[in-house]
Structure 1
């Protein structure tokens, strides 16, 4: 017979308060929360102060509402729910092109790497420089930059220096703008991020998301990389994003 799990009462009570606030369409006063959850009022105030301090609740004039940390959790939960739909697409692309496959998304003003499908025969790139700092040098970064409007692109580039990562990296913003306008729907990085490595990427776009699917290969294989496989994978990812809440 399995042993009963050890539960921490204060955590349970805090979660019950979060549930009660989240179930209401309006801010909830502490006294109402205490009655709803069945807690003494002093205990309720103690837990509410802690939840407000950590950002999971906020205190308003007429009661308590969900805080910014809960919004962040919702975003991450949505991405986690997305992975079971996205990962098979990336793995199929990896196996088809014999190169690591990547999904990145533009979120909160930065480019974020969401998932990688790699393996012994298709190792991923050593991301020695952060993805958000190297959009100018990566195929998926260029994809996303091209999908931003001119104001959004200027804002991004004003916050991220065009660092010289290899002798092939574009470090002139005018040259970068020219490349972005000439690349069509498939972008490449030929040893711009890492010597010996090349990447191809194409855009993923839905009404609520902008991103890119990319593959990395030895630089010598860039000319033979199947762009059509990349496009098909991006279309499948776009469909999955479009139906994700």
Structure 2
């Protein structure tokens, strides 16, 4: 039974990672799984609304958005925070995101981006490479040293691009600067040709560790990175107002 659950989740992940409909035979090849098994799993996922069958193949079903809304509800993400991200994107024209540290993981909870963002974009969910992202650096900088080392030990520091920092010592130097300046900058460490900026959301004692970030093409960053940083500082200050009343992201400690 656990193996079939794993297989079903593999199918769901494979469909989610595709740019368009995926035929059953393609899924069987991709997952190195028998076609009859794949059809059985597809039938179950389709019946439960997680997938939809089209003439060209399988796509995500209408159950998926409800799962995302449930995720945001459980994380106590205030609607006002999403609205702030939308307003920020309209004001400065860049993709904006809201992230948190939770139970030893760093995750993106919400974001606003174009359908095909020039920056590649982040999708809501766990960020397994926080050492290479601006929001990750802000959250890592706020963690106690022991919690930060546990995270880096578990997640690793793989090189995503030639500019990714993979040395704990170099990262420590950068995180000290993040704490001094109250913001983080990441240039082509996660995606070539893309820069990100991030700031922490002010929180009271025991409050959740959260951050607001923005991603923009490198040339755009050099032209107006400072303006974008100031814009997301304003968003973070506004988001902090909802932290006490809505608990926009459950505190997990370190």
* TM-score, normalized by the shorter chain, greater than 0.5: yes
| Cross-structure match for 1:209 | 208
Q: Which residue of 2 aligns with 1:199?
A: 196
Displacement of 1:82 in angstroms is 2.6
- The CA deviation string for residues 163-197 of structure 1, in whole angstroms up to 9 with x for no partner, is 10001100001000001101311101101000011
Q: Where in structure 2 are there 5+ consecutive unaligned residues? A: 1-68, 248-254
Rounded to whole Å, the distance in 2 between the matches of 1:242 and 1:75 is: 19
Provide the C-alpha distance between the structure 2 equivalents of 1:186 and 1:97, rounded to a whole number of angstroms: 18
Where do residues 93-108 of structure 1 align in structure 2 (5 Å cutoff)? 93-108=88-103
Unpaired stretches in structure 1, ≥5 consecutive residues? 1-72
Equivalent residues of 1:98, 1:122 under 8 A apart: no
**Residue by residue, what CA displacement relative to the aligned partner does 1:64-122 show, whole Å, maximum 9, x if unpaired?**
xxxxxxxxx9985343x534111110011111221100000111110111001112596
The 3 A distance-change label for structure 1 pair 75 and 131 is: closer
Shift of residue 208, structure 1, vs aligned partner: 2.3
Structural mapping, 1:155-194, within 5 Å: 155-183=150-178, 184-194=181-191
The alignment's TM-score, normalised by the length of structure 1, stands at 0.64
1:150 Cα deviation (Å)?
Answer: 1.0
Q: 1:85 to 1:100 in 2, by over 3 A?
A: same
* Greater relative contact order (Cα < 8 A, sep 6+): 2
Indicate the residue corresponding to 1:116 in structure 2. 111
Question: Do 2:95 and 2:121's aligned partners in 1 also have CA atoms closer than 8 Å?
Answer: no
Q: CA RMSD in A?
A: 2.4
Answer with 1 or 2: which has the greater Rg: 1
Aligned residue pairs total 171
Match of 2:73 among 68, 77, 90: 77
Aligned equivalent of 1:46: none
Which position in structure 2 is the counterpart of 1:244? 246
Q: Residue 221 of structure 1 corresponds to which residue in structure 2? A: 220
TM-score (norm 2): 0.62
SS at match of 2:241: helix
Structure 2 matches for 1:12-31, cutoff 5 A?
none
